[in-house]
Amino acid sequence: MSTQSLLIPARPAPPAAALSFPRFLRAVRTNALTMWPEEAYETNVLRQSFLGRERLLVNDPDAIHRILVDNPGNYLRTAASIRILRPITGRGLLLSEGDDWRLQRRTIAPALAPRVIPMLARHIAACTQDAVARLRAAAGAPVDLLAAMQTLALDIAGRSMFSLEVTRYGEQMRAALNVYAQKHARPHLLDMLLPPGIPAPRDFGRRRFSRRWMALMDEIMQARLAAPASDAPRDLFDLLMAARDPETGAGFSHEQLRDQVATLILAGHETTAVTLFWALTLLAQAPAEQEALAAEASALSFAEDDAAATLGKLVRTRAMVNETLRLYPPAFTMARQAQAADRAGGIDIPAGALLLIAPWVLHRHRRLWRDPDALDPSRFMPDAPPPPRFAYLPFGTGPRVCVGAQFALAEAALALGATMKSFQVELADRRPVLPVAVVTTQPDHAPPFRLRPR
Ligand code: HEM
């Protein structure tokens, strides 16, 4: 594709120079994408120091390899991440460390391994058919595709986990997560400065939220446990209940199971919902690409029995999903705190330093990508050269790489393919849709779309 014809999707303008500490704090609370100056997109490492603590944004491949792959035991989750995510994910996989993490990861990874994808694809297909039917009924009037994709992703997370229609809990879960995002998820100064063991003022509200949220998880689990047992695993819940640590033979306790369920639902649904939303927003502005995806999907079946086979044929659709994850990575940054001093790719890292590896920055780095701000899915087609090493990390890398990556990619490709097969998608107004990152990369408003059935 010639550079002139490429779409440059909207993004917030980076500040001309590094932010002062108060402005940095404000950016972290309101939109983390505005915290990196132009320079961040050109250098290997950006070092800043506040209140005696160093903060490093790392773009250098050797340094990323050292931090995430070679020496991950030295780089643990930060106090702010723990405070913000613990109330919703409990003691589940996302925040665990050391032996506890190793044991959980070994037990959970097989439940999300590639061989489970055909089972998950059936759930994805069933939910997607329902979503397409709902959209078809609503077509004609302006449609809120952000809400539609959130509902779809939550439905997929619920049915893949429990084989239950979570519609009766869906409203409650979405309402709770929205309250959380608005009231409890924004990091404040003391959230970052105090060690996780010492409560920060906002932790009290978070704990109250956590009690309510975990009670809701318990209620859904009880409903699932009341369903008759099955010989073959039907869903992730069956797989997690049957999961045993290969060395000790131990399974999860009720509380551990609940925390894993909460973790997988949270980590899985919001990220995939925004991926689908951004893909549709981009395609609404790129009609030729949209027609190409519709042509690919038109010959394929998205029925439950065919979904797993269809996945392998969604080549261009997958490239679009990958390009969406490049331009609008839902997990815009990975934060770690160095436990001991280290040297990573020629960079000296002092003990206690805060390390940021930011897919948002890496994916738009001037030295790593051609036309970094432009939409060009062809860079992910099978005949294209692979991206430079560690320049593309939507799911992280190393031992803590996203455990649900295959599931997420299957979900995004099937849902996007089925939508493209069914509708032509347009934005119903011209107001630019800007990304805002607090927990995930969300739009600044939910734009109205117009859908024309094909
Ligand atoms: C497009 C969708 C998704 C994106 C972009 C995404 C991104 C990520 C990233 C970047 C990490 C690594 C974080 C770090 O190293 O600090 C991660 C970890 C994780 N993800 Fe995902 N994820 C997605 C979907 C899912 C799904 C569908 C599930 C579950 C069903 C899931 C479950 C998890 C869990 C449990 C972890 C923690 C793994 C560990 O620490 O060992 N994610 N994800």
Neighbour-count burial for 312-333, b at 16+ CB within 10 Å, e otherwise: ebbebbbbbbbbbbbbbbbbbb
Question: Low-confidence residues of the chain, pLDDT below 50?
Answer: 1-2
Q: What's the gap in Å between 8 CA and the centre of ligand 1? A: 27
Q: Which amino acid is at 350?
A: P
Which residue minimizes the CA distance to atom 39 of ligand 1? 400
> What atom in ligand 1 is closest to the CA of residue 329?
5
Q: Report the C-alpha gap between 434 and 328 in whole angstroms.
A: 10
State the pLDDT at residue 1. Answer: 47
Pairing of the two strands 53-58 and 448-453: unpaired
State the pLDDT at residue 3. Answer: 52
Which residue minimizes the CA distance to atom 10 of ligand 1? 395
Helix spans in 367-433 (H): 405-422
Q: Which is nearest to 221 in space by CA: 177, 270, 265, 156?
A: 265
Q: Which is nearest to 310 in space by CA: 421, 413, 422, 420?
A: 413
State the pLDDT at residue 169. Answer: 84
Domain parsing of the chain, residue ranges: 3-453
Q: Report the C-alpha gap between 103 and 89 in whole angstroms.
A: 17
Q: What's the gap in Å between 294 CA and the centre of ligand 1? A: 29
> What atom in ligand 1 is closest to the CA of residue 330?
5
Is residue 393 helix, strand or coil?
Answer: coil
Q: What's the gap in Å between 25 CA and the centre of ligand 1? A: 25
Which residues are near ligand 1 (CB < 6 Å)?
Answer: 93-94, 105, 263-264, 267-268, 271-272, 275, 330-331, 334, 394-396, 400, 402-404, 407-408
Tokens of 413: 């490709």
Q: Report the C-alpha gap between 88 and 265 in whole angstroms.
A: 10
Beta bridge partners of 411: none
Contact call for residues 142 and 449 (beta carbons, < 8 A): yes
Q: What's the gap in Å between 83 CA and the centre of ligand 1? A: 18
The CATH number assigned to the domain with range 3-453 reads 1.10.630.10
State the pLDDT at residue 190. Answer: 87
Beta bridge partners of 49: 54
Backbone angles phi, psi at 50, to 5 degrees: -135, 135
Is residue 357 helix, strand or coil?
Answer: strand
Q: What's the gap in Å between 429 CA and the centre of ligand 1? A: 33
